[in-house]
Amino acid sequence: MTREAASLVAGAKQWASYYGDYPNGEEGAVLTAPLRIRAAWAANDAEAFAHMFIENGSMLVGDRQLMNRDEIRSYMAEAFGGAYKGSRLTEEPREIRLLTGSVAVAIMEGGILRAGADSLAAADEVRAMWVVVRHEGDWRIASYQTSPIKG
């Protein structure tokens, strides 16, 4: 196996581990939406990040409620150029619940690994709630918010 092929296999195995107890079925399909957000964050790609939200999707950031894809894109572009530059989103699924055939809630735990950090600081640990909807045949984010685990 070539070095490039070995690297691709290692990367695929790493990403497969992100699905936790939800590697298959509808729950696994729902989880692809937050995982694609994670990949966009790792690339510091505000466009790809915002694209995962439905047009009128929302994201609660601190005390600020972002109310559509354009606001989310703008906020993340600024954040990726500043405070979140080089950071990574790390979240593990705790529960995926299908509410209907086209609406689900994903509960995740994790946080933001700051640039250069190897582990998540206790003060940065959060529980995240993703409201995920089937939109034009794909799972997309309708709403995202986090709450600190330890205050």
pLDDT recorded at residue 9: 47
The three-state secondary structure class of 33 is helix
Residue 53 pLDDT greater than 80, yes or no: yes
Q: What is the mean pLDDT of the chain?
A: 89
Between CA 74 and CA 109 the distance in angstroms is 25
Mean pLDDT of 49-67: 96
pLDDT recorded at residue 24: 75
Q: What is the pTM of this model?
A: 0.86
Q: Which domain holds residue 92?
A: 3-148
**Total number of domains constituting the chain:** 1
Between CA 106 and CA 98 the distance in angstroms is 9
CATH code at 142? 3.10.450.50
Q: Are 34 and 53 in contact (CB under 8 A)?
A: no
